[in-house]
Structure 1
Amino acid sequence: EIDIMEAAGGNPDKIGGTIHYGEEYPNNTYTSGDYHFPEGEDITGYHTYSVEWEPGEIRWYVDGELYQTLNDWFSKGTNQADKYAFPAPFDQEFYMILNLAVGGWYGGNPDETTEFPGEMEVDYVRVYELTGRDYKEPVEPVVEDEELPEDAKQPLEDGNLIYDQSYQEPITVVDQPEDSLDPTYWNFLKLPQFGGEGTMEATDVDGERFAKTTIENPGNALWSLQQIQKIAILKGHTYEVTFDAKSNTNRNLMTKVSGGAERGYANYSGEKTFQLSDVVQSYNYTFTLNQDTDLAARLEFNMGSNGQAPVWIGNVRVEDVTDQQEEETSKSPLGDGNRIYNGTFD
């Protein structure tokens, strides 16, 4: 999906341009950028929104002003060993949609201050073919290895990117949209617009320290109740996430590594859903960061919208395993267990 222009009525002084790519939902991701209007202008006036789409590069404009250029993305099929050839998925025909939506996470749900009816006025839609020169040849960007800057959150001596694994530090409760996450230690997020209510406290489970989330109201979204810690991760590096968890009955727990608000909450790892039981079990997943380095990425455990059964989480680790991945020479099975790669000749 290529979003030529997205606007939210609650923020009329800016618009966004976005590409959606990666794997199939919910393991897709996106990259976006914002355009801020000059003082005195906003989305209520007429403006010309456009993209220039060439093989391997997409450019966004407002009133002829270039504000974003993207040339780095990927596409990967479910249970496939490798990515499709660049510039997939933006190497095929798309269709165009112009719509006026109400609600959703992008603009938020309407309330008593929302004015109805809402209108979208479109003067024209035009599509041009490039003339005067050939289209660019697509060139997939080369990922150059980099190191964390000195002022970034560094891994501990044992390689763990997670601080306070045993919950000795206070857990920061974030329950208002204007509140900030603690940049170093654990956070418990329960924003009122999503309806989640509960508490999080450190407790002992079989002699080890776990964070226990007691759920009073699961809210209306998976992210209604979240346990979050910020981590610094590098583009092109592979990471392994491991943790122990339980409930007092069978229930699901969704976890992922994502960007924050400044990254549009981009999904870096894909959503990983595990079924918990009343016995402590160990869980793990790996992912490679294909987007730009993020020094304020978020490890999330999402416990909303899934009943009131409590959740215990402990022994959380996030470790850079890039070197281990490069040393492995055996051909690993795909996600569905198949040892034949590209069995569908895609």
Structure 2
Amino acid sequence: MKRWFLRLISAAFAASILNISTAEAAAYKTGDVSRNGAIDEFDARLLQIGLLQGSFTDAVPLVCVDLNNDRIMNAADLSLLKQTVMKQASASPQPQTKKLIWSDEFSLDSVSTTNWSFDTGNWMFDDYGNYITGGWGNDEQQYYTQNNAAVHDGILTITAKQEQYSDPVQGSYSYTSARLTTKDKFSFCGGRVEVRARCDLGKSLWPAIWMLPEDSAYGAWAASGEIDIMEARGSDPYKVSGSIHFGDAWPNNRSLTEEYTYTDNTTLYGWHTYAIEWQRGEIRWYVDDELYSTQTDWYSVDRDAPAPFDQNFYLILNLAVGGNFDGVDGKYADPATFADGEKHFEIDYVRVYDMADGFKPTVLKSALMDSYFKGCDASVRDIGNKTICQIRSTGSYPYGLMELISGQSVKAGETHTLMFDAVSSVSRQITVTAEDSEYKRYLDQTIEIGTVPKHFRFNVTVPSDMTLDIKFLLGDIGGASKLGEHTVTLSNVKWT
């Protein structure tokens, strides 16, 4: 139903709400739509239903729904009621072991730029703006825009449309939609995530509520993990699923998935609450507070659990069209789905709670490295667990720029391990060594790195007690002097 029509019937409906005397009004509380003596989330849902459907099952006194005292019932009252419920829950003693730390009740008249950013386009790019793949890695057919998301009547609506859209770089598309993310605005580690949502039905619709790591501390997808709170196929409205992706970087990653089948003849089309509870060694999935999946068996490359799910993740809401999850032939959009118009993925609220048994993210720090310059033009900076080398010219020496871990004591026969992640804005070679004081190398590896991050692991065993220097040679290796200006990033460097 069109939004303007809903507002029209809501205005007409307001006139039919019971106007009662001041004496009678004293028997009711403002906001107590259910008139049971308490003001809670149930009242907010009743008021929302009244606004959207244009009627209640019985007459409701105006005093119960007119929170802003303007003598009519409208979306402003719903916004105020939601705020009242949230403040009341935060102020009163809570028997449950959770504390609200972030939420969006969609009470504004537009998408909150404080909470959300938009991912736009159809292509995926790396941190340096280099093209990785189209279709968001899933053969998706839509072009994401900022115009396909709006907030009305306390609801965020993501709209998928069959329409022509052209981009001078990415080409032409027949479908548009929206993808919202809290990246760089809000991320968290552990707790409960709760989202109330519904979605229209139809082949090739792919609504998703999910999370990705803020910093990808363990390497490229999916070594650093992905948590899918809810995914659904528009062609199978009776089921949703929850998943985790983990292990090594693609294509050697793994995933675990469980499905939930709706009860009481409900479907994806109706309103449901989707949630996860994320603890250090366990993640649980719920639909309408019914537990349907528990996962405990995960890992990241060269690291056991709780990695990779021991770092901050951010939230994503999107409605994809086509793709390998529900596309025609595993790719294409189904025009028949849009024969009666645009399709909507609607979200009532998103809430994140800290659990009483919550945990802090593992702090991943790279080994402290020194920099050595010889005939090169470069600058080096450390940000978090990353060493970023901006190389304008390598010069002519292989060791023109070196990053070093100096003076590591090792015993005869011991095996030590060097682990690190590396990525470059251009394809190139670097050399990694472990050398004694006389420059004898017990590790000597020249490796290829490029725009997709790679994880490396090397074992080193020495015949006698000694001190080693670990060196990353970033100078003129394999003709790198011809590359021009580029960036090499080393992260998660560990010597154990």
Q: Fold match, TM over 0.5?
A: no
Q: Which has the larger radius of gyration?
A: 2
TM-score w.r.t. the length of structure 2 is 0.27
Q: Which has the higher helix share?
A: 2
TM-score w.r.t. the length of structure 1 is 0.38
The structure with higher relative contact order (CA 8 Å, sep 6+) is: 1
